[in-house]
Chains A and B, each alone.
Chain A
């Protein structure tokens, strides 16, 4: 390694004695830290190619992209693709499906980890809480494909355990996967099953910052256990909860797309077609790939997500006194 680059002691002592003041000009400081920039080089190149180049490439949403002319050479068409999307019969259905699905998901998967964390925090018997934790966050490591495979075998109309259970009550076999009414429940509750335990970790960490004195003081004042959960534990996790909520709202249009695609079939499209699956189909499944149109819809989704994030953050800063920035 290049450890032979010994800096002159003079430089070292001046900066060591005055660490806060910029004794040197920017150029000199940059030169002194050249090795740090060298370390950053590879990550920045990666960022340029795989994050910022696609952002630049998103301009094809305003062009009629074709393979021969490439991104730069293709003809500008302004907002044509956006207008076409806004006027298409798919527009409101996609917006509605996306919002309802992720709204429902948020409604379930946001409060559940908080409740689980509060419950675990209340249960002080070590072996018990350890076991509950071990069990509840195991599903986090299972892949989306396997989770959907699991759903498929569990709800299978002939052999699945769900229908055998219903059969005990004389309820005939239910076709779950091909039923649009079931799609959202399957999606949301399997997400809850998979993520709840792991999401609770961060709240449990926040709960460790509650000092025992607060609880003792509350006990002396005669607070019941539930009251202490409400007035001592819950305020302790509020800042973390607000930040996670903001992040969730910001990604409300985009998360979980892979599972939607796996659970989707021609029979449940009515509720399962969301913006991202539609973009995927336009770009990769349809006979004539419509890259520009698909990119325009994707860009629309990204922009709306960004706006939602900013709005949620502003609201949080004003009303909950904690925010991302």
Chain B
């Protein structure tokens, strides 16, 4: 994905012409580099592998410290108890709603803002762009934002999760750059000669040509929404609206299992026993949705983000 014509990826190690022989020092540098990258990847990977193994292990083996790399005594106990905890299941559902709703709304707004701003012939473009860019450098702050959500009557509704974060200016800029670099001016000229309006051109020509950047926006907004928790903390008070991340915070960070969320007493006792174990399986469950997105990200996000940010 990092390839262009300029620097083709090859399986040989360098640009060395066949006639020039590699020096000893260069060889050493190369080997050190490969080793360092390898060790480094292992360091990044280790916490994830450990949590995965612990989640699938017998709780007593985790407690006694026998698990350090591979699962010891395979067990799905901790996953089962997740589904008996009402808050988690409900939070999961809420998060799905927020992620999908938020991503759709935000992507529509972003596309609507980015296309006109990508047009060179829009009078007042500089001023409007300035209005967008200024918000990246300065904002009212936590309290004034809260007061606006309060005044608009969004407080403690699902809209409070979706509307205030509905547009990221950074995405508008990336999308605009994408339009500027991939939609040729001539295309627009010829469509106009054929009598196509601006909205018609946007709908019939620009959008079909922009699938990668639309995918990037949807994914970006969905993951951001899925992972967010702070807005929920200050804007929501009803527990039935809480997204998964807020429930996770109670259990993972504050080590706080709410007895009223569990259906029967035997279950609660089992859960107390499993509480440590529950953390591992929760981390695994909560990480799965964003990681499902990952292959698409490989394909589109990196390319789209690169085009947008480099040529901007």
Contacts and interface: CB of A to CB of B under 8 A. Distances in A.
Interface stretch (A27-35, A82-90, A266-274): A27-35
B201 to A, nearest CB: 9
A207 B122 contact: no
A149 B248 contact: yes
A165 B185 CA distance: 62
Contacts of A171: none
Given A36-B198, A54-B145, A161-B50, A193 B44 contact: yes
Contact of B12 (A55, A58, A124, A159): A124
A212 B15 CA distance: 7
B37 interface: yes
Contact of B309 (A122, A202, A204, A226): A202
A299 B137 CA distance: 13
A258 B12 CA distance: 45
Interface footprint category on A: 35 or more
Interface stretch (A38-46, A103-111, A179-187): A38-46
B306 to A, nearest CB: 4
Interface string A188-215: 0000010011000110111111111001
A205 B10 CA distance: 16
Contacts of A124: 9-14
Given A159-B65, A225-B29, A291-B147, A40 B113 contact: yes
Contact of B142 (A15, A141, A196, A276): A276
What is the predominant secondary structure among interface residues of chain B facing chain A? Answer: helix
Interface stretch (B19-27, B81-89, B261-269): B19-27
Given A3-B200, A54-B145, A159-B63, A201 B305 contact: yes
A280 B146 CA distance: 11
A119 B39 CA distance: 12
A320 interface: no
B41 A146 contact: no
A47 B135 contact: yes
Interface in A53-111: 53-58, 60, 71
A255 interface: no
Given A54-B141, A193-B44, A306-B138, A207 B193 contact: no
Chain A, interface SS category: helix
A205 B306 contact: yes
B68 interface: yes
A135 B44 contact: yes
B287 interface: yes
Given A146-B283, A202-B306, A36 B148 contact: no
A139 B140 contact: no
Interface string B112-155: 11011101011110001001100101111111111110001000
A208 B41 CA distance: 22
A288 interface: no
Given A7-B192, A145-B248, A39 B202 contact: yes
A219 interface: yes
A114 interface: no
Given A2-B199, A6-B195, A54 B144 contact: yes
Interface in B1-19: 2-4, 6-7, 9-17
A131 B132 contact: no
A224 interface: yes
Nearest to A160: B65
Interface string A151-167: 01110101101001000
A322 interface: no
Contacts of A226: 29
Contact of B199 (A3, A12, A46, A295): A3
Interface stretch (B71-79, B208-216, B221-229): B221-229
Which of B13, B152, B227 has the largest count of A CB atoms less than 10 A from its CB? B227
A207 B141 contact: no
Contact of A280 (B20, B142, B166, B282): B142
Interface string B269-312: 00000001001101100110011011001100010011001100
A123 B36 CA distance: 11
A234 interface: no
Nearest to A40: B116
A46 B166 contact: yes
Nearest to B230: A258
A316 interface: no
Given A60-B147, A71-B147, A146-B248, A207 B7 contact: yes
16 contacts: A2-B200, A9-B195, A16-B193, A36-B115, A46-B163, A54-B141, A60-B143, A125-B11, A126-B9, A132-B40, A150-B283, A152-B252, A154-B47, A196-B44, A208-B7, A210-B6
Query: 7 closest Cβ contacts across the A-B interface?
Result: A54-B140, A149-B252, A298-B141, A57-B144, A3-B200, A143-B227, A43-B113
Given A54-B141, A209-B4, A219-B14, 17 more contacts: A1-B199, A3-B204, A39-B113, A40-B112, A44-B113, A47-B167, A52-B135, A57-B148, A123-B30, A123-B37, A149-B248, A201-B2, A208-B6, A262-B253, A280-B142, A284-B146, A306-B138
